[in-house]
Amino acid sequence: MTGDHPGVPGLGDAPFNAGGRRAARNDEHDEAAGGDAHGRSLILASVARDARLDRKFLLLIILAAAIATLGLLQGSAAVVIGAMLVSPLMGPIMGIGFGLATIESNLIRRSLVTLAAGMAVAILVAMLIIWLSPIKDVTPELRARTQPTLLDLGVAVVGGIAGVYAIMRKLSGVMVGVAIATALVPPLSTVGFGLVTGRMDFALGAALLFLTNTLAIAFAATVVARLNHFGPSLTRQHTAMQVAGIVATLGVLSIPLALSLNNIVREIGARTTVQSELAALLGKDDRVDSLNVRIENDEIAIDGVVLVDRYASQLNANLARAVRDKARRDVRVSIVQLRQQTNAAAQFEERLNQRLAALEQREDESRAILAGLTVGDLVPRDRVLLDAQARRVVVQRDREDEGAEVAAAVDRIMASVQARYPQWLVQNGSLTAAEAPADAGAAGE
């Protein structure tokens, strides 16, 4: 069945009474109804215009998909929100809703074609970007689009109601909020990620989220449009068919969403139980570094890292037993214990590191000073005595044997080294009488 909508391209050629039956124009009530009918015709014309598949729509969906994909790969919520604002998918979805309300086959068909084209383009753009990207890690933003629940269905329904209200009252700001609340392009980008990386669970979960949002928004638009007298000329049979179709579709859609919500609730309950029991088993100064609790095949899987003062050999077994008694499920635990440092140990290690650094610095300075004093072989190596601990250098000299020129040169070398290392004491020393015969005896041998 096709309604009567004048001035709306592609929505029929017969004059449109905006859902009201014609009567004499001199009736004031009918004149008011005619004014309302004209307003509804303008709204339908606007909805039909936004549901068109044209270059503007394709450009916006390409940009939105690119922004959403990059934001998901970066894990940036702000970038993902930007993609929601650019996305034009709300137009064809509202077209489906209004088309169902008025049983306008042309509007429904046009909106479905536009929506299908937008979905295909968005997924292809996402797949191309992810295929070219060197980073294919799973970010929290990606994971958030893979487990839709009944809560997402509720958000989409309320968003659809707000969207129709914004269209009828021409409130563009409200539509911005609806676009942010009911994510449409990010799930499609997540589908592309799942297809490229082989994560079919991601692709299916994101596809379910997109389907949930799309149907909920469209059906909410249908209900609100009918309540505002769009298509009042429809028979009771048409209304009954609309209601039955909406209820049946949402009922079938609610089954996987309810199961997903139930899984999330069970995981939250299991995590709370694990945290409580683990805290009871750990010491006062022990702390949890990381903890991951999952439900896999009706089994609670626990893994994480805890920092402890003293290693507990039975921690995993005790935690598994405690959680099993409370949750009444099989439990698998893999908790890694790492010894944490006390304040005293940390201070001792810091002092030790400082001591080692000081010794290394003095060793480097000793080598540099020795090299500076023995340059040119004016001062023999065995005549230089270094005490790195006291930062003292003694150069044993015999000025009578050196001569005036050599002595002056050695004095300049020692002065230069002293200037470069003022924290050291570089001084002259004399050969003792005992050292001279020893050297002479050594030479005679």
Q: What is the average pLDDT value for the chain, to the nearest integer?
A: 78
What pLDDT score was predicted for residue 62?
A: 93
When mean pLDDT is compared across 122-131, 159-168, 174-183, 221-230, the lowest value belongs to: 174-183
- Judging by beta carbons within 10 Å of its beta carbon (0-12, 13-18, 19+), is residue 369 exposed, middle or buried? buried
Whole-structure pTM value: 0.61
The DSSP-derived string for 122-156 is: HHHHHHHHHHH-S-----HHHHTTS---HHHHHHH
Neighbours of 352 (CB within 10 A): 10
**pLDDT over 50 at 80, yes or no:** yes
Q: What is the mean pLDDT of residues 158-179?
A: 74
Q: CB–CB of 28/75 below 8 Å? A: no
**pLDDT over 90 at 153, yes or no:** no
**pLDDT over 90 at 144, yes or no:** no
What pLDDT score was predicted for residue 131?
A: 92
Q: What is the mean pLDDT of residues 266-295?
A: 82
Between 219 and 429, where is the model more confident? 219
**pLDDT over 50 at 347, yes or no:** yes
What pLDDT score was predicted for residue 370?
A: 82
The DSSP-derived string for 79-97 is: HHHHHHHH--THHHHHHHH
Cα separation, 233 vs 15, whole angstroms: 14
Between 268 and 172, where is the model more confident? 268
